[in-house]
Homo-oligomer: A and B are copies of this chain.
Amino acid sequence: MKFGKPDAGFRARLYTIIFEAETRAGRLFDLSLIVAILLSITVVVLDSVQAVSANYGDVLGMLEWFFTLLFTLEYLARLYCVRRPLRYATSFFGVIDFLSVLPTYLALMMPGAHVLLDVRILRLLRIFRILKLTSYVEEYGMLNRALIASRRKILIFLSVVMMVVLLLGTVMYVVEGPGNGYTSIPTSVYWAITAITTVGFGDIVPKTDIGRAISSLMMLLGWGILAVPTGIISSELTAQHGRLRATTRTCHECLSEGHEYSAKFCKDCGAPLPPLESTAAR
């Protein structure tokens, strides 16, 4: 506590409201924050539509300043009540909070910057803090574990895709040439990504017969190869499922493992299993 004693109680109360979600006031604060973020994003989005901006430009501009001042105030309050302001200011959410108010001030100097206010959407990631209390965290952890467990396979897959895209992009640059829209290797690689991910914008298309043959192969490859990462994640999640359901309960008599959550007796020796609490409590 670097500040004077008098407002220490106020700071602690402010901290509980702003940073915690367990109390009633804290939850109310979080909910109004989410509503404010959604409203301010709606303002930015509407302001970018010309028909709306032409008629309600003044109101939207004022609302934008209102929300910016509100979030600036909130940012200062966070800085004020947190124990180590610098650590907060350099944390992920601290940076996001700062970037959420910056564009409006920047727009005073360079018009147009204020559309960057949409970075505020990232503030919604705080929602997960409220959900923390529910079972969303377990689901999220399962997804996360599966992705981490398969990160090496995914990396191998991505690097192979990158090589294919660069190689075939170059080949198409040679085969089709700038005359057919393949003006440079980066453009050809962009097209190759377009083809292999089955997006197919159609702004650049092969026109020679060889080019079409090569892109046919690429499309079939990109279409089929997607089965690989899908299979990786599927099998990893299936394994997580199996692990979750099976390995946590142990019979105290015969020490066999893998009993279901609903089991009351050991399926191997018939001895009563310890109640679920004692194992689920880990």
Contact = CB atoms under 8 A, between A and B. Distances in A.
A80 interface: no
A57 interface: no
Interface stretch (A12-20, A70-78, A112-120): A112-120
Interface stretch (A23-31, A59-67, A221-229): A221-229
Interface in A228-274: 228-242, 245-247, 255-273
Count this chain's copies in the assembly: 4
B163 A190 contact: no
A262 to B, nearest CB: 4
A161 to B, nearest CB: 8
Contact of A234 (B122, B194, B209, B230): B230
- Place the interface of chain A in its size category: 35 or more
A238 to B, nearest CB: 4
A111 B72 CA distance: 53
A163 B124 contact: yes
Nearest to A146: B231
Nearest to A112: B174
Given A212-B190, A230-B233, A231-B233, A197 B223 contact: yes
A7 interface: no
Contact of A260 (B187, B220, B267): B267
Contacts of A45: 185-186
A41 interface: yes
A49 B185 contact: yes
A265 B267 contact: yes
Interface string A158-171: 11010100110010
A239 B239 contact: no
Contact of A156 (B116, B140, B170): B140
A142 interface: yes
A270 B264 CA distance: 8
Nearest to A271: B270
A173 B115 contact: yes
A85 interface: no
B241 A239 contact: yes
Contacts of A112: 174
A272 B275 contact: no
Nearest to A183: B50
Nearest to A156: B140
Nearest first, the 3 closest Cβ-Cβ pairs linking A and B are: A231-B233, A263-B267, A265-B270
15 contacts: A136-B156, A189-B216, A190-B212, A197-B220, A197-B222, A198-B223, A200-B201, A203-B205, A224-B226, A227-B234, A234-B234, A235-B241, A265-B268, A266-B267, A267-B267
